[in-house]
Structure 1
Amino acid sequence: MKKIIVLLLLFVGILNVSAQKYATKTGSLKFEASVDSFEEVAAENKNTSAVLETSTGEIAVLTLMKGFRFKVALMEEHFNENYVESDKFPKATFKGKIEDFDVSKLSATAKTVKISGDLTLHGKTKNITATAKILKSGDKITVTGNFDVKAADFAIEIPKLVSKKVSDKIKVSFNLPLTKL
């Protein structure tokens, strides 16, 4: 009986070692909705959290909407109050999977991958696919990439008065430096 318990504990310990999680609280998420000949409409959030489960390739990302910083304070205020309604919808989340993920094949040379999953923003969820680069250096995995979204897909209304100054296609980029938990 003791041998069975010891073997069971050893097996559970091996499973826990092979199921590694990597995480960050200092990821960067940027977006740009600028239109030529008008003022830049762009912001960055440097406090984005993410978790990667290396045994499955599942990835989850969370960012607080009030964490986005603009060059112009008034833009930040309009973004939070009028567009994304940060008090009502305080966060954006992504839950997805890196396709064909195999942590043992990662190296310091970036590998191009596809990440698919559900992006929830402004109370709406939409399936997206992003092209990303992933690399591993020491105990750190870095995931960088980008994708495009439309404000209308998330019921974010752009007033007619500024509709010519803000692109309906928003370019989103991310940089997630993940470390082993």
Structure 2
Amino acid sequence: MKKISLYLALLIGIAGFSQSKLITKTGKITFEASVPAFEEVKAKNESVTCVINTDNGEIAALALMKGFRFKIALMEEHFNENYVESDTYPKATFKGKIENFDISKIGVTLKEFTIKGKLEMHGKSKEISIIAKIKKTESGLEIDSNFFVNTDDFDIDIPSVVSKKVSKKVNVTLDFILK
């Protein structure tokens, strides 16, 4: 039985290495939850990890919540302690698939693709579908997207004291170059 398990693990490992993967550990995610006439609520994380299996279009991304940087330190503190509770929920992850992905048909001009998958954040998960623009670059594959996430979908409470200053509809922008 041990030999069968060992052979099975070895085969799975070899199959995993035979797949083509592109990766980045310096992907950028920016989010903005600003409301007009109030102070900007915006942050950027420039150390997001993303992996694409170029054989089948599977994609996965991971962002550490404490990696988001704000212009105002107090906003960053409130974001981590009161909103996303990053000590309890330290990361956001996405696992999904790029529909109709064929690496051989990606050129140097941006082409739109639909990416569907599960976004997990703040202890909750939600199936999402986004449009992303993908192209080949000298250094790899570039993926850009802009979409909205609702804080209610992830049980992120916005205190009534600031509810008119912070939008529940959060604009998320991502920019990845995978090599």
TM-score when normalising by structure 1:
0.88
Matched, 1:91 2:91: yes
Any stretches of 5+ residues in structure 1 without a counterpart? 1-11
Corresponding position of 1:144: 144
Q: Aligned residue pairs: how many?
A: 165
Amino acid at match of 2:159: P
Matched, 1:174 2:174: yes
Matched, 1:51 2:51: yes
Please say if residues 27 and 50 of structure 1, whose CA atoms lie closer than 8 Å, have aligned partners that are also in contact: yes
Corresponding position of 1:132: 132
Please say if residues 129 and 147 of structure 1, whose CA atoms lie closer than 8 Å, have aligned partners that are also in contact: no
- How do 1:2-41 and structure 2 match up within 5 A? 16=18, 19-41=19-41
How far apart, CA to CA, are the structure 2 residues paired with 1:58 and 1:170?
25
Structure 1 residue 139, shift from structure 2 partner: 5.0
Q: Secondary structure at the match of 2:114?
A: strand
Corresponding position of 2:71: 71
Structure 1 residue 155, shift from structure 2 partner: 0.4
How far apart, CA to CA, are the structure 2 residues paired with 1:161 and 1:138?
48
Corresponding position of 1:7: none
Corresponding position of 2:103: 103
Structure 1 residue 153, shift from structure 2 partner: 0.5
Corresponding position of 1:119: 119
Amino acid at match of 1:59: I
Structure 1 residue ranges, 4+ long, deviating more than 6 angstroms after superposition: none
How far apart, CA to CA, are the structure 1 residues paired with 2:171 and 2:147?
6
Structure 1 residue 37, shift from structure 2 partner: 0.1
Residue identity over aligned pairs, in percent, reads 55
Amino acid at match of 1:29: I
Any stretches of 5+ residues in structure 2 without a counterpart? 1-13
How far apart, CA to CA, are the structure 1 residues paired with 2:129 and 2:40?
26
Q: Secondary structure at the match of 2:34?
A: coil
Q: Which moved more, 1:145-154 or 1:73-82?
A: 145-154
Structure 1 residue 137, shift from structure 2 partner: 2.2
Structure 1 residue 147, shift from structure 2 partner: 1.2
Please say if residues 97 and 117 of structure 1, whose CA atoms lie closer than 8 Å, have aligned partners that are also in contact: yes
Amino acid at match of 1:125: S
Larger radius of gyration: 1
Amino acid at match of 1:119: L
Structure 1 residue 138, shift from structure 2 partner: 3.7
TM-score when normalising by structure 2:
0.89
RMSD of Structure 2 on Structure 1 (CA): 1.4
Amino acid at match of 2:93: T
